[in-house]
Structure 1
Amino acid sequence: MDRVDLKPPADAVAQRADAYAAAPLLNCLLREVAEPLPRSGARPAYRLPGTGRLLRVRPGRRPADPEVHSAGSWHRLGHSELVKLVAEELRRLTGLPGDDLPAEMIDSRDTVAALLTARARATAPEDPYLRSEQSLITGHPYHPAPKARGGGPAAAWLPYAPEAHAHFPLVLLGVREDQVAEEGDTRALDALATAPPGYRLLPAHPWQLGLLGRGLEPAFADGRLIRLGTTAFDTWPTAAVRTVYEPRRDLFLKFSLDVRITNDIRRLWRHDLLKLRRTDTAATEAFAAMGPPAAWLSDHGYRTAAFAFEELAVLVRDGLRDHLLPGATPLLAAGLAEGFEGSPPAATAAPEAWWEAYLRQVVPPALRAFDEHGVVLEAHLQNTLIAVDAAGTPVQALFRDAEGAKLVPDVSRAAGWERLVYCLVVNHLGEIAGALVEHHPGLDPWPAVRRELARHDLPEVPALLTSPTLPGKTNLLLRWTGADGAEARYLPLPNPLADGSRSALA
């Protein structure tokens, strides 16, 4: 990473890290557990039903400054005290110990501190797309430990952290031809370098190789694997951490990473890889039928070693150039929600028109893919790119991640719709709307969402527009109870789309 001679004071970093880490944890606690009390002051107060404790916070999209009531007065909680409070509450409420989650919450906060320090010494990429991918210091706004990196020392992961503006070469391995396992179009891998006769090229993420440790030594010893150096170019990690982008080749590669990030160990699991072609083909065909400007970034092939099928798997994803409208600049939707230098929601002088343009690009392809083709896009903030024109106006949406997409033949239509509503409306539109309102107070974003949804003749839409609630994912309880990360559990949230309701999603 390029460095400049800047270093924030340690106490300032600690305070900022506490604030960044507390906000998503409080969001989870208030959404999933806390019971609101009648408003009696500037700060809303809540009862925690497991312990009976009283909590109050500074309200907003990112709640802050938590205080607990004790001995007749309110006492400020730092992040570590907040973690203890949450852990005690959930032990009482669920009867379960929570295993490693409290440590993950602390790790997430410490990760943020390391990122803030490194970020102050790094140079942000000039490319606005890369800048948007590398902007997520808060990360998932409704996860108790969104920035945890597996508890390892910062030196092991910081060189590969998108939030620290990292860029790095990939390790090049050769896999003996009789040990190659692959499916789909992987020709882009062969163009990275030249493998010796009898071997195929296999790029590897250097962090993943470090995590695997000595487990690959037998394969190197008997010649099933050989080392071929590193790429002659750097790659840039995207918001997903394990996916990298090489701008000159317009190449995305997604790797296994044996680290828990949010809810899951981020390995390319065998069962997901084996069904990937079917899911990706369905999504590709759906977007081909729809036509531009909406686009699907296909995960069109994977390659790995048969003896380390999941550990060394690499997925080849479509680049951007063949899909982008001329002159359009892609930006990560999650980056727009979090904010970065030059972000269009903050810069626009016409927020209503900007928002209507945004909705016109994002909503129709997600609904049509579901209704007409049975493809449930995981259309959340991190899987959606928004291309803007020279004025910053949204002109195109690009969707990605066949691994997260579902097909209606495999899930019921009702279950698929619930998942789509959560990903698209609650996770995605709710956060972009919140960011827009922060920059443009007084804007009511929900009538425009209602109008856009009402244009589409899906049988589920009328109920969506009148239901008092929307499904909210319970990441805190999911992690505390040890449920599988793919096993989404939802609780009802007030629906800002319903007539007479203009409350934000919370």
Structure 2
Amino acid sequence: MDRVELIPPPEGDDAVRADAYAAAPLLNCLLREVAEPVAPGVHRLPGVDRLIRVRGGRRPAGPEVRAHGRWRHLGHTELVKLVSEELRRHTGLSNHELPAEMIDSRDAVAAILAARARSAVPEDPYRRSEQSLITGHPYHPAPKARGGGPVGAWLPYAPEAHASFPPALLGVREDTLVEEGDTSALDALGQAPPGYRLLPAHPWQLDLVDLAEPFADGRLIRLGTAGSDAWPTAAIRTLYAPERDLFLKFSLDVRITNDIRRLWRHDLLRLRRTDEAVARAFVPGPAVWLSDRGYRTADFAFEELAVLVRDGLHGRLLPGATPLLAAGLVEGFDGNPLDATGDPAAWWEAYLGVVVPPALAAFADHGVVLEAHLQNTLVAVDGGGLPVQALFRDAEGVKLLPEVSRAAGWERLVYCLVVNHLTEVAGALAERHTGFDPWPAARRAFARHDLPEIAGLLTSPTLPGKTNLLLRWTGADGADARYLPLPNPLAG
């Protein structure tokens, strides 16, 4: 495997660094989904019939376009214009929303960089990993877009800015309460008056939705804030309350990557069945499923005010193990074990050993398709930084057979686990160790499992790559997944 050039974090003032951070995932999308390679680092954009070149590998940088016989640097604004024109010609469709999101994403990065310069770095390595994602999704055209609202509206709640704040507390009249599963942990966050039940809320969401009528007629009352802070995970709308060892997932009426981040009714209504199916797939074994125990909401704002209760970490980690977000390992943070390991082969073998078997076993033995991508996987490491345990989360993204076909479920698992997850971790490890090839070990890890799909996985020349740029440009539903073939590094 050719070693990928390690691109350090962008330097310069915040504007220059924001351009670089925002350009990398946009270029990844453009080069994966539309452009045609013509030479190392050089691609042709067929719609506009222009050549573009970049340096670097996983995180392309320094975009230049060929014009009038010479290469000219592209700033982020020019890059957005070029991509938009290419997509308009490529698809025959116009889209005014996505270019605005690309600019919003870049401006959000600038605000995040400025805020991080003013904030103290969290002492907890787990929190540092969750709040490290300045780039974010490496194959999304606008991973940091925050709905186009003013910075002051969202920055106080941004994980990348090391935010921490108490959840808002509401009282919802008992005759309008809707709940399912075990939501008892919510009642410990405060006290509701007679005739009401406690309903925590994300303060940003309260600014986004119109609740004037239920507040006016008494179906909803304000009860202040929780007595202790929680901090946002990489998912933004999911908060971790360390004093309660509890995760709380809220609705946010903001488009983040491909979706408006509501807890949708149809997902909530299938939550218990999905979560119970996944929980059965994780007994016994060192791998852990962080259960979505239940949800609580109000019947007059079922999706807008829904809150989901998720297992915490205490009692689920192996003794002495420290959880870290898999996406944080790729993005980088102070204390990242990838920076310290002197034996990449042993580290990678250990990583594969904790992540791959539970995901494959859940599929093979229980018909459970985990959304095992980088943001839904925690990897716990021992005192020496060696992976010893995997923890998976988010029932909302789980699919069950036969609700989806086996073929569709396998394609989704391969995309999430291999393309989105292992490819990125493997690339980050290979960047740090010249000449290290992570893929023979990965092939062995998959070959150990007796699934009929494994032989095809290890011989197919391609893997499915999700087309986030084209999905957003063509206005597809956020839950859709359309794939294009990518070279398969597992095909030895």
Please give the TM-score of this superposition, normalised by the length of structure 2.
Answer: 0.97
How far 1:11 moved relative to its partner? 6.6
Q: What secondary structure is seen at the aligned counterpart in 2 of 1:268?
A: coil
Would you say 1:255 and 2:256 are equivalent positions?
Answer: no
The corresponding residue for 2:357 is 364
Amino acid of the structure 1 residue aligned with 2:130: E
Question: 2:152 matched to 1:155?
Answer: yes
Question: Which amino acid in the other structure matches residue 473 of structure 1?
Answer: K
Residues 345-369 of structure 1 deviation map (CA, whole Å, 9 limit, x = unaligned):
1111111100000000000000000
Taking the aligned partners of 2:270 and 2:278, their CA distance within structure 1 comes to 13
Instruction: Return the offset for 1:124.
Output: 1.6
The 5 Å alignment of 1:363-402 reads 363-402=356-395
Distance 2:204 2:418 in 1: 34
C-alpha distance in 2 between matches for 1:180 and 1:232: 23
SS in structure 2 of the partner of residue 257 of structure 1:
coil
2:161 maps to 164
The alpha carbon displacement at 1:61 in A equals 1.0
CA distance in 2, matches of 1:415, 1:305: 35
Alignment of 1:180-259 (within 5 A): 180-212=177-209, 215-259=210-254
Counterpart of 1:416 in 2: which secondary structure? helix
**Mapping 1:24-35, distance limit 5 Å:** 24-35=25-36
Q: Distance in 2 between matches of 1:38 and 1:18?
A: 25
Query: Can you give the 5+ residue segments of structure 2 that lack an aligned partner in the other structure?
Result: 1-10
Amino acid at match of 2:342: A
Is 1:307 the counterpart of 2:300? The answer is yes
- In the aligned structure 2, how far is the partner of 1:431 from the partner of 1:198? 51
State the percentage of identical aligned residues: 77
Corresponding residue SS for 1:307: helix
> Contact 2:130 / 2:324 at 8 angstroms: preserved in 1?
yes
Task: Provide the C-alpha distance between the structure 1 equivalents of 2:392 and 2:376, rounded to a whole number of angstroms.
Answer: 6
CA offsets per residue over residues 95-126 of structure 1, 9 Å max, x none? 11123000000000000000000000001211
Partner of 1:438: 431
Measure, in 1, the Cα distance between the counterparts of 2:478 and 2:359.
23
**What's the offset of the Cα at 1:51?**
1.0
Distance 1:292 1:234 in 2: 33
Mark the runs of 5 or more structure 1 residues left unpaired by the alignment: 1-9, 500-506
Give the length in aligned residue pairs.
482
CA distance in 2, matches of 1:173, 1:57: 51
Is residue 284 of structure 1 aligned with residue 282 of structure 2?
A: no
| Aligned equivalent of 1:92 | 89
**Is 1:322–2:319 an aligned residue pair?**
no
- Cα distance in 2 between the residues matched to 1:481 and 1:391: 47
- 1:404-415 map, 5 Å: 404-415=397-408
Letter in structure 2 aligned against 1:429:
L
Per the alignment, residue 451 of structure 1 pairs with 444
Distance 2:473 2:122 in 1: 37
Equivalent positions of 1:459-470 (< 5 A) are: 459-470=452-463
Asked if structure 1 preserves the Cα contact closer than 8 Å seen for 2:228 and 2:243, the reply is no
1:481 is aligned, of 459, 462, 474, to 474
Instruction: String of CA shifts for 1:60-116, please: whole Å, max 9, x gaps.
Output: 110010011111111100000000000000001101112300000000000000000
The corresponding residue for 1:73 is: 70
Instruction: State the match for 2:5 in structure 1.
Output: none
In the alignment, which residue of structure 2 is the partner of 1:48?
Answer: 45
Give me the whole-angstrom Cα distance separating, in 2, the residues matched to 1:460 and 1:278: 26
1:427 aligns with 2:420: yes
The letter of the residue matching 1:417 is W
Match of 1:295 in 2: 288
TM-fit CA distance, 1:322 = 2.3
- State the Cα RMSD in Å: 0.9
1:264-287 CA-to-partner distances (Å, cap 9, x unmatched) read 000001011001111111001111
Deviation of the 1:491 alpha carbon = 0.3
Aligned to 1:108: 105
Q: In the aligned structure 1, how far is the partner of 2:339 from the partner of 2:458?
A: 28
Could you tell me which of 324, 333, 336 is aligned with 2:329? 336
Q: Match of 1:487, as an amino acid? A: D
Aligned to 2:17: 16
Name the CA distance, whole Å, in 2 between partners of 1:420 and 1:322: 28
Secondary structure (helix, strand or coil) at the match of 2:94 reads coil
CA distance in 2 between counterparts of 1:439 and 1:257 reads 37
Distance 1:263 1:99 in 2: 16
